[in-house]
Structure 1
């Protein structure tokens, strides 16, 4: 993922900016007069403040009633649970475009007569002109009092999804990966560097249309027909995935991105997918507020899963799904306007769940990853969130609405993106309250991953990919190139020793002007440099081989340490 100027600025001004996100009912200051009220104005609307309060209360609530199991077969949905108490209870269906905390009357509900129940329903129903797949829904118990439906349980998504096929997982053979795999003349690097994992950008809005164009193929979903530019896919996505997965058995994660409507290949489709409160940013959060938009987004995910999760691997394979980019910086990378953190995360969880439920039909081993910058407890840019507060909310949603196999796609850049000497990062501390997680203190991320409370269903470690991470060379001087090489050697010794870190997908393969600094393993792929390998390329190649220890010795004096015993316990 290219880094834009706003990302670079966060490192320049980080010591002078203090930005505090205020949540729940303390979102407004008490103002005594009109002048003070203007000064104290919250950035959030009153509706968003109320929504934030309601979502927080919902996540923290304790209910005696519960939906305990949701199972999805090819044709049915089975929901089991129990209610306790006197009164009239219903099982209510909550589709993605409905907010569970903001409904007084539920439209799709079934009267419960037995306190312990198991109900089987048709999976597909006609609803609002769409053949709706209840795979996307969650289910909640409500109690009716005075004509109002009151929540009596947490909602629950599907726990089990019957797959239509079985794909063998692609297991990582080492921790070396490549970020942003693209077709180019150096594709053999994937073999020369012994790459085991990678990422690829998939901007849905570059190839999907509402009306047919020359060369498009049809994709039917929910009774609606959408059109896909297959030429675009063959020349960009397919060729890269085939080289990585079919030829080299590399495990690849797709980064799902949506352009704002004005930049979409089909602006009309973009208008459907763009979040209604979007007010800028490089990419948008999908619109999950109405049936048409949800169906369109689900159709895109379904198409990608069908094409890239095939037993014959005809087009290449996607094994993991990274949902959007650096969502702690949502205003830049998944824009849905200015929102309190729980309101934002609620929509993000819906997007993650939709992808997960759709993809698991085709690949029972597929994971979805949440994408974050190197911020942990400190806001990187004005208007951003911290990673930890979103991570904590993801855990809270998993505990209340049923767990699913999500992991972290973390961007553990140096604190100062331009400085390759990440071992001196001042605010990367060995503490769970550290402001930043960089290569210097990956032990923090490792500890998070290995803690039982953070594991999937309490037993399975969540995958952690450093899916966009690297160190830079400030210039092409020998000194700067050696510092970049040393920075990777230091990072690798941490990554390879930590059980909780599954791998690094190096950003970037080539230097790119959009990064604001030279992060590539190779120089610029242009007429001037032609992608020449930098010293860090050779260090990357030797990492994980029997030549590693001898070759890496040269960097110890530059770093200022006597040996590679650099892993610390805390």
Structure 2
């Protein structure tokens, strides 16, 4: 129930203060650079908590709760006040680096049985089929704006957090409970994808970034003010409290994928047209908040940055997309200077052309870290990247790598198209052999959607009258066999389609 802070400083420094920075304080929005110094004007989100001046080494213990606000999401830094009254930072601010004592639940690490996964699973699908397919991991889209409101509604139940009452929507919650409980009962690891959809409810108005443009599918959460932070923290607290329980009454979420394809922010995590630094300042605070809130319950929870296959493609001139590698390097730097935390990469290595399953013919790739794209053809590049010294955790471990969304298209439902899709799975499976950093391969999707721009990436066809879940494609049988004693027999057909020799 305490926050323990320690550090060292130059004894010649006078009038030094230890500051607490609340989550809504932003480098991009509030910092002032003046003659090489980082300054912040006094504001409600910056608070003096100590005066360590006069000692080379200092220690300070504070209550974990400031009234009803949990300080596990705060940052801390040393500063002096200028004659003009601004705070001049003398250190990088730091997040909590050890939250092990904060976890209220004694949950063990949930290790997957294997890498075979399925993406975007919903409770309305025939869940028993996950067992037939041998699925070991799933991703679940969790739409935050549909779960809570700050106004009561008939049938919604109250949830108390930080001295405020929020109201929970039982409809989507029941579906998440059903799905996550099924997964937990069958030892299937769940990675939740946290999404902020557009809407007009009072809660949506709080949680959606004020500059988000509805041209995007989803929005960045609002961390620009205390009300937005309170709404975001409340829904995260509710999810973690419910799905990180020691008794697993409602199932478990082990991994938290924070938003979708943030390198293509305009389309998938919209906060308007923003320079990369501004976008990443906001995204990193969102990533940290998810990590630190979920660690209040689960000592093993991890967060993941979601990226497309456009690895080293230059940023869009109008800030509609960013270079994946550059924003990943920004995350590496934040982890190094602001305090390490349990983050990983949720990558989407589709073929270079999502409509063409023949990834072995991709030509916009190479085997270097400068490759424009990372696709199934050069997936080994990502494995090597994850093992670089700068990518390792502070104690030298390889970070988590989820291939959390990718798939192979069937241009139509002809036998030839289905065979090419199935060959794509075989190719990817062979390409991943020996790549020890890969924890999961989540195929997108289970059932074809008529609303995905003509892409038919599923293991089943589009639903139709009398067939609410479509019909099985050839890839269903092949995917079922991967990783089993039947794999060699079931994949032999691909030998005449795929390039000969070792993975390439």
**CA deviation profile, 1:92-136 (whole Å, cap 9, x unmatched):** 11111112534133641122232311101122224xxxx322111
Residue 287 of structure 1 is aligned with which of 213, 222, 227?
A: 222
The 2-side partners of 1:429 and 1:444 are apart by 9
**CA deviation profile, 1:373-412 (whole Å, cap 9, x unmatched):** 1111115876211211110000010011001010111111
Residue 505 of structure 1: SS of its match in structure 2?
strand
* Counterpart residue number, 1:275: 209
Residue 353 of structure 1: SS of its match in structure 2?
helix
Q: Under a length normalisation based on structure 2, what TM-score does the superposition of the two structures give?
A: 0.92
Residue 432 of structure 2: SS of its match in structure 1?
helix
* Counterpart residue number, 2:35: none
Residue 193 of structure 2 is aligned with which of 255, 260, 278?
A: 255
Q: What RMSD, in angstroms, separates the aligned Cα atoms of the two structures?
A: 1.6
| Superposed counterparts of 1:222-371, under 5 Å | 222-234=162-174, 236-246=175-185, 248-262=186-200, 267-280=201-214, 281-371=216-306
* Counterpart residue number, 1:551: 490
The 2-side partners of 1:502 and 1:514 are apart by 29
1:89 partnered with 2:23: no
How many residue pairs get aligned? The number is 481
The 1-side partners of 2:122 and 2:226 are apart by 34
* Counterpart residue number, 1:387: 324
Residue 394 of structure 2: SS of its match in structure 1?
coil
1:119 partnered with 2:60: yes
1:79 partnered with 2:5: yes
The 2-side partners of 1:474 and 1:538 are apart by 19
Change (3 A) 1:291 1:513: same
Q: Is the 8 A contact 1:495 1:503 kept in 2?
A: no
Structure 1 alignment gaps of length 5 or more: 1-74
Q: Is the 8 A contact 1:87 1:144 kept in 2?
A: no
| Superposed counterparts of 1:396-407, under 5 Å | 396-407=333-344
* Counterpart residue number, 2:365: 428
* Counterpart residue number, 1:444: 381
Q: Is the 8 A contact 1:83 1:115 kept in 2?
A: yes
* Counterpart residue number, 2:36: none
The 1-side partners of 2:289 and 2:450 are apart by 34
Q: Under a length normalisation based on structure 1, what TM-score does the superposition of the two structures give?
A: 0.82
The 1-side partners of 2:21 and 2:125 are apart by 49
Q: Is the 8 A contact 1:221 1:295 kept in 2?
A: no
The 2-side partners of 1:211 and 1:184 are apart by 28
Q: Is the 8 A contact 2:26 2:281 kept in 1?
A: no
4+ aligned runs moved over 6 Å, structure 1: none
**CA deviation profile, 1:30-59 (whole Å, cap 9, x unmatched):** xxxxxxxxxxxxxxxxxxxxxxxxxxxxxx
**How much does 1:242 deviate?**
1.4
The 2-side partners of 1:486 and 1:228 are apart by 45
The 2-side partners of 1:179 and 1:204 are apart by 18
- Choose 164-173 or 145-154, whichever is displaced more: 145-154
**How much does 1:515 deviate?**
2.2
* Counterpart residue number, 1:374: 309
